[in-house]
Amino acid sequence: MPLARYANFGLGALYLYLATPVSRTLLEATMSTHMLVQIPLLVATGIVVCSLLPERCQDWLLGAAGGPIPCVVLAIFASSYWMLPRALDAALANPLTEGAKFISLPILVGLPLALAWKQLTPLGRGFIWTNFISMLAVLGWLYIAAPVRICNSYLLDQQVDAGWLMVKLAVLIFAWWLATLFVGGDSATHGSCTAECTVN
């Protein structure tokens, strides 16, 4: 129980820090930190919240949502919205939209993903990874190739920098994911062979 209390305190402190004017000014100063630091941290808070919930509560929430597939669809649509330049501009210009970002990313992206993850098959998890990687790569290429500013709140050089970081991150995540698939497959094969030899 003390560990859970410390986790709750740390999560609350992180969320409050992200919501402070100092943190928002720092992380929203560039397009890269806005999209690749602040937004993922807000999603992560929702994932951590889910892990702190009792198993019975997680099962109830998943059942109330209709199962893992609706949770995944909700998370994909909500996360895709906040990757749009118009959404970033609106969050910087309108306090209500900024508040909606801080509420929707943990609740509509992080929490549903965490609820659905345990119930998803390897194919379902692969769909999430490929969707995320392709979205990063396509948006990154768009930010690099666009001859004008797509996001009015950021300069063109910041847009290009964010685009290159997104493309590089997509490549790194794809390489890591492939590596885990090969390592997982090898370990699973080795485990099955060991079990078969033991039985024989």
Element (H, E) at 101: helix 95-104
> Per-block average pLDDT, block size 10, for the chain (200 residues)?
58 84 93 94 92 91 92 93 91 94 95 93 89 92 90 91 95 90 55 40
User: Does residue 115 contact residue 50 with C-beta atoms inside 8 Å?
Assistant: yes
Tell me the CB-side half-sphere exposure of residue 153, using CA atoms within 13 A. Answer: 19
The confidence score (pLDDT) of residue 191 equals: 41
Cβ–Cβ < 8 Å for 79, 109:
yes
pLDDT reported for residue 196: 41
What is the per-residue pLDDT for 2?
A: 54
Classify 193 as helix, strand or coil.
helix
What token pair was written down for 184? 């997982």
**Contact predicate 171/193, CB 8 Å:** no
**CA-CA distance, 65 to 53, in Å (whole number)?**
16
Spatial distance between the Cα atoms of 95 and 90, rounded to a whole number of angstroms: 9
pLDDT on residue 27: 94
Q: pTM here?
A: 0.83
